[in-house]
Amino acid sequence: MTRKTVKGVLKTWKEDRGFGFIKPDDGSKDIFMHISALDSSSRRPVTGDIIYYQITRDHRGKYKAINAQIEGVALKKSTANNTEKNEVSKKLFIGLFLSIIVITAVIWYINAQQS
């Protein structure tokens, strides 16, 4: 399921507690945002930041922001990109390992035939 991205302004932010509230541009009810919604942001939010986010419900049925980004703020280096690189490295290692096994088996077979 694809969630719609919403835009709003960070109305309040409690840095010591890691949460605040976004005032949506459409005038709807304020949305709770925890710092974990900004995992990809390269800096912490401040009151007045323009936030792009998606909305979900928490385990109590209350709405909250997820997948949030601060307008004009660079993202951290992608952990997804690092994961992809790790997967490629694993595949290369496995391919190399299997190639060595096959070559070793061929050499062993050739030597066994000559004996």
What is the domain partition of the chain in residue ranges? 6-70, 77-115
Alpha helices of 1-115 — where are they, by DSSP H? 79-114
CATH class in words for 6-70: mainly beta
∠ CA 38-44-73 to the nearest 5 degrees?
A: 75
pLDDT of 1 higher than 60:
no
For residue range 52-71, list pLDDT tens digits in order.
Answer: 999 999 999 999 999 999 99
Question: pTM for the full model?
Answer: 0.64
Count of beta carbons in the 10 Å neighbourhood of residue 110: 10
